[in-house]
Amino acid sequence: MLAAVMDDFGTPLDVREVPDPGAHGGEVVVEVLATCVLPYASEVFGGARRYPLEPPVIPGLGGVGRVVTAGPDSTRLTPGELVWCDATVRSRDDATTPDITLQGWSSRGDGGLRLSRHFHDGSFAERMSVPTECVHRLSDVDTVDAARWAALGVYLVPYGGLLAAEFRAGESLLVSSATGNFGSAAVSVGLAMGARRVVAVGRNRHVLDDLRTRFGDRVRAVALTGDAEADRAAMLAAAGGPVDMVLDLLPPSVDASVVRAAAMTVREYGRVVLMGGVGMLGGDDLSLPYPWLMRNSVTVRGQWMYPRDANGRLIELARAGLLDLGQDSVHTFPLAHINEAIAHAAAHGGPFTRTVLTPGDR
């Protein structure tokens, strides 16, 4: 089969023939129909993100495909069936604190790195082998919509944060970094889950205006000025008072003071979920006042990715039309043009803009 291989950081991916994967116990071989190329993919492959990928590797973060072969312990998946393949792979020998790898992308700690050496290769290929528990049926989804459904991986990230804080219909949500790829998805998912109001915070006024136009009065936009106290006051005014939950998705380049300003808009018993990359590449750590946290019973938690059952739940939100995948602008590239796709994704990383690789197209 053909695959796009990263032989080393800082070099273009090479499309070439590689051996077909096999399906052993607990695994499924899938023909890859569509997989998202994330806007920061060039930073990963260039080494700027310092992800623990071990070249040579076929990168790629999940996607939509057809089942080719299922292992002997699979009883319901059938060849030809359309499925979503989740890239979040968990070790099977510790249900409480499993090691995690993002297949073909990243991993957490030494255990995650060991796991990645088995589930090493991702979706930038004509076929890939996936753990059975990471394969989710798409039921009546039409194959022609595979490229659009490949964006599930973007929406799943903020959905995981909302589930972690037990976000409920009728609550207010503040999204810090709402103008980015994941942040704008968080606005959409929050509304799909029944948010009473979403405060969208960011620096790009054009994108903030688009979010208001796209979603209506349930979205209130706040453009950051750089003055932390003024920004916090503007967030509270837009929300009509303290919010129920803050979801932070800020990238590594942002100062922690921006996180702090947003976090301190939550009400008593409010929740703050951190899912961004602030501090990963240096800079000051997040500082929150102990008395304020304690006396207001505020919950602050980190969340990496999402629970396994989030996949099926989000698929049903999309199938029901509550999460509208039709709003995405999708640009597809065949496997042979993978490096053009990576450059396109970097240049077009705005809200609801998806760069999708379609390995079956020649």
List, for residues 113-170, the tens digit of each pLDDT value.
Answer: 999 999 999 999 999 999 999 999 998 899 999 999 999 999 999 999 999 999 999 9
Residues 40 and 169 in one domain: no
How many distinct structural domains can be found in the chain?
2
pLDDT at 283 over 90: no
Element (H, E) at 214: helix 205-215
**pLDDT for the residue numbered 66:** 97
- Arithmetic mean of pLDDT over the chain: 95
Domain presence at residue 323: no
| CATH code for position 27 | 3.90.180.10
Residues 220 and 270 in one domain: yes
Domain presence at residue 312: no
Among residues 348, 323, 317, 338, the alpha carbon closest in space to that of 215 is found at 323
Domain presence at residue 47: yes
Residues 114 and 180 in one domain: no
**pLDDT for the residue numbered 25:** 85
| Percent residues over pLDDT 90 in the chain | 89
**pLDDT for the residue numbered 78:** 93
Residues 250 and 276 in one domain: yes
**pLDDT for the residue numbered 18:** 97
> How far apart, in whole angstroms, are the C-alpha atoms of residue 360 and residue 350?
26
Domain presence at residue 317: no
- Where residue 12 falls among pLDDT bands split at 50, 70, 90? very high
Residues 231 and 334 in one domain: no
- Where residue 360 falls among pLDDT bands split at 50, 70, 90? confident
**pLDDT for the residue numbered 280:** 75
**pLDDT for the residue numbered 122:** 97
Domain presence at residue 347: yes
> How far apart, in whole angstroms, are the C-alpha atoms of residue 313 and residue 320?
11
Mean pLDDT to the nearest integer, 312-317: 97
Residues 246 and 267 in one domain: yes
Q: What are phi and psi of 231, to 5 degrees?
A: -65, -40
Q: What are phi and psi of 326, to 5 degrees?
A: -70, -15
> How far apart, in whole angstroms, are the C-alpha atoms of residue 109 and residue 210?
39
pLDDT at 326 over 80: yes
Q: What are phi and psi of 305, to 5 degrees?
A: 65, -135
Largest pairwise CA distance in the chain: 61
**pLDDT for the residue numbered 71:** 87
pLDDT at 285 over 90: no
| CATH code for position 251 | 3.40.50.720
Q: What are phi and psi of 183, to 5 degrees?
A: -65, -45
Q: What is the pLDDT of residues 188-222, one digit of tens each?
A: 999 999 999 999 999 999 999 999 999 999 999 99
- Where residue 42 falls among pLDDT bands split at 50, 70, 90? very high
Among residues 197, 196, 164, the alpha carbon closest in space to that of 178 is found at 197
DSSP symbol at 21: P
Domain presence at residue 298: yes
Residues 7 and 144 in one domain: yes
- Where residue 279 falls among pLDDT bands split at 50, 70, 90? confident
**pLDDT for the residue numbered 253:** 80
- pTM, two decimals, is 0.94
Q: Residue 57 belongs to what domain range? A: 2-151+328-358
Residues 82 and 114 in one domain: yes
Q: Is 339 exposed, middle or buried (0-12, 13-18, 19+ CB in 10 A)?
A: middle
- Where residue 22 falls among pLDDT bands split at 50, 70, 90? confident
Domain presence at residue 223: yes
Residues 191 and 287 in one domain: yes
> Which residue, 255, 284, 302, sits at the end of a domain?
302
Domain presence at residue 291: yes
Residues 52 and 99 in one domain: yes
Residues 6 and 147 in one domain: yes
| Percent residues over pLDDT 70 in the chain | 100
- Where residue 284 falls among pLDDT bands split at 50, 70, 90? confident
Q: In what order do the strands lie in the sheet with 197-202?
A: 219-223, 197-202, 172-176, 243-248, 266-274, 299-302
Residues 209 and 276 in one domain: yes
